Structure 1
Amino acid sequence: MFKYYVFIFSTLISTITSGKVVVMAFSQEIPPYIYEKNNKGIEIDIISSALAYKGHTLKPLYFPLGRVPIAFSNRQVDAAMGDMGVNLALKGGFYADPAVIYDNVFITLKSRDISIKNPSDLDSLLIASFQGAEIRYPDWLQKVVQEKRFFGVSDQFTQVMLLYLRRYDVVLSDRYIFQYFVDQLKLRENFEAKEVVEYSFSDVEPADYRPIFRDEITRNDFNLGLKKLKESGEFQKIYDRYMNL
């Protein structure tokens, strides 16, 4: 508790100093990480709090996931939540430490009896995924894309429905995002949850989830704030607020 109040006090002191408004590109709605309507969520709260440590104010702008790096490249924003596999250092970006790390897995209906251990196991299967996954995981998805069996969609609720309705065979999603939307569906009348199977297919690479800033000093301020968030315990508290609902 004492560490928490020290962090808040330090943040207030820092706010007195000159900070800037940081316009950052985020994906549209990705609960529990991003709630577009009220500018909340695990990822937004962590980034906002880390920037606030040095007096900066976060202003989110929302785009379809695949357009996040484009918004940065076109100088529509000061920062981006991630690069979606595009090297934004070439566009003047400074990479920061990751605020959150997505745990992406292949998900299938257990009743389909599909096994995924190698890229060849995806042959003939239809894959619904978040936008940019084809860039992030070319070894697994290149053939799927070439054969037009890949559907990248920014609305990840749609992914769940496509799998449950058997329109697509496999969903590639962060496991927490997928479970969030399943839980939302459970609140509906006459909805019957279906058992699914998850297949981990790639080691999590934290570097894939680094925010990017146009200004090096702001990037450094963010990294320091993120470090202080973790040391104070507030980082975990933000996660707990959303994951223990």
Structure 2
Amino acid sequence: MTEKFNILITIKFCLTFLLLSSITSQVANAKELIIGFTYDIPPYIADNATSGLEIDIVRDALKYKGHTFKPQQFSYGELDYVVKQKGLDGAAAVQKTDDGTFYSENFIAFRNYAFTKKNAGITINSVADLKGKTIVAWQDAYKDLGPEFEALFSPSVELPYKNKYKEIPDQAKQVAMFWNSEAEVIVIDETIMLWFTKHLANKSGSIQDLVYHNIFGDKTQFRVSFKDQQVRDDFNEGLKYIRENGTYQQIFDKYLKD
């Protein structure tokens, strides 16, 4: 009996030691990171990058392996370069390119539409139908909306209709321009459009005045780029974990449910 008891005590001690070693190793490898985000675009990023869908998802995914981060904000067009050129540990909501950084799995998706006003009576059934209309989109939208859109609206295009197309870094200003009739069409993520339409002061329209033109197909997926491969792997593990345990959906419910 005493021998069995001693064996059980030994096994329990070994398991406890292994568990503590694992926790100690995880804490020792945890890092405080500097992650780049865009300027505020509620509900994705808000309050100087201290809250929002993207902030909470990145925070909870990194926390799984003990990492923390401090945010730095940039224009959307700058995010592609902050890891390689500015030495940040990561950049959130970017498209995957062959730039030598380490990209996460898709962590958030945007549903982009062309919106017009009902009283304008504009018909848009395809990307080609945008030609000749005054359009406002976000900075570098031409990179994110597929090859047909890029062929029509990239900076290299020098045709008369292109003069009516603008890209604006500030998406609050983008929405305001649309409601102030400075553009016939706004190309934007649905959630951002509805949030700013609901919250912007002095707007001259409402959600009920909008026409959705679904010409871009699937959602546009975004990733996080990391300087360090292990941190990228840790993030992916954490992202999988929060999706499986319901935290990911809870974050969306927190910001999007009225």
TM-score category by the smaller chain?
Answer: 0.7 to 0.9
Unaligned runs of 5+ in 1: 1-12
Q: What is the TM-score normalised by the length of structure 1?
A: 0.85
The partner residue of 1:58 within 59, 62, 69 is 69
Equivalent residue, structure 2, for 1:153: 168
Q: Does structure 1 conserve the Cα–Cα contact (< 8 Å) formed by 2:43 and 2:53?
A: yes
Cα distance change on mapping 1:133 and 1:203 into 2, 3 Å:
same
- Over the residues paired in the alignment, what is the CA RMSD in angstroms? 2.1
Letter in 2 for 1:213: F
Counterpart of 2:149 in structure 1 is: 140
1:105-130, Cα deviation, whole Å (9 max, x unpaired):
11111111112122321121121111
Q: Could you say which residue in structure 2 is the equivalent of 1:72? A: 83
Percent identity (aligned): 29
Q: Which has the larger radius of gyration?
A: 2
Alpha carbons 2:101, 2:225 under 8 Å: kept:
yes
Relative to structure 1, is the Cα distance of residues 122 and 113 closer, same or farther in structure 2, using a 3 angstrom cutoff? same
- Asked if 1 retains the 8 angstrom alpha-carbon contact of 2:42 and 2:192, the reply is yes
TM-fit CA distance, 1:204: 2.4
**CA-to-aligned-CA distance 1:138-172 (integer Å, 9 cap, x gap):** 41253345323221112111122111111111111
How far does the alpha carbon of each residue in 1:63-88 deviate from its partner, in whole angstroms, 9 at most, with x for none? 0111111222313311111335x72x
Contact 2:49-2:73 within 8 A present in 1 as well: no
User: Does the Cα contact within 8 Å between 1:97 and 1:210 map onto a contact in 2?
Assistant: yes
1:227–1:110 Cα change, 3 Å = same
Summarize the Cα distance change of 1:163–1:29 in structure 2 as closer, same or farther, 3 Å threshold.
Answer: same
CA distance in 2, matches of 1:96, 1:184: 32
Structure 2, unaligned runs of 5 or more = 1-22
Deviation track 1:6-26 (CA, whole Å, cap 9, x = no partner) reads: xxxxxxx68744301121111
How far off its partner does 1:192 sit?
4.6
Whether the 8 Å CA contact 2:112–2:219 is kept in 1: the answer is: no
State how 1:58-207 maps to structure 2 within 5 Å. 58-84=69-95, 87=97, 89-90=98-99, 92-137=100-145, 138-145=147-154, 146=157, 147-185=162-200, 188=201, 192-193=205-206, 195-204=209-218
Write the distance in 2 (CA, Å) between the matches of 1:66 and 1:55.
30
Q: Does 1:26 align with 2:41?
A: no
Query: Which residue, 48, 59, 67 being the options, matches 1:37?
Result: 48
Secondary structure class of the residue paired with 1:210? strand
Instruction: Give the secondary-structure state (helix, strand or coil) at the position aligned to 1:107.
Output: strand
Distance 1:204 1:17, change over 3 A: farther
> 1:36: how far off?
4.0
SS across alignment from 1:148: helix
Contact 1:17 1:55 in 2 (8 A): no
Residues 179 and 71 (structure 1), Cα distance of their counterparts in 2 relative to 1, 3 Å cut: same
Is the 1:30–1:177 Cα contact (8 Å) retained in structure 2?
A: yes
Structure 1 residues 107, 191: CA separation in 2 closer, same or farther (over 3 Å shift)? closer
2:244 counterpart residue number: 231
When normalised by structure 2's length, the TM-score is 0.81
Whether the 8 Å CA contact 2:179–2:204 is kept in 1: the answer is: no
Letter of the structure 1 residue corresponding to residue 65 of structure 2: K
- Which of structure 1's runs of 4+ aligned residues deviate more than 4 A? 188-192
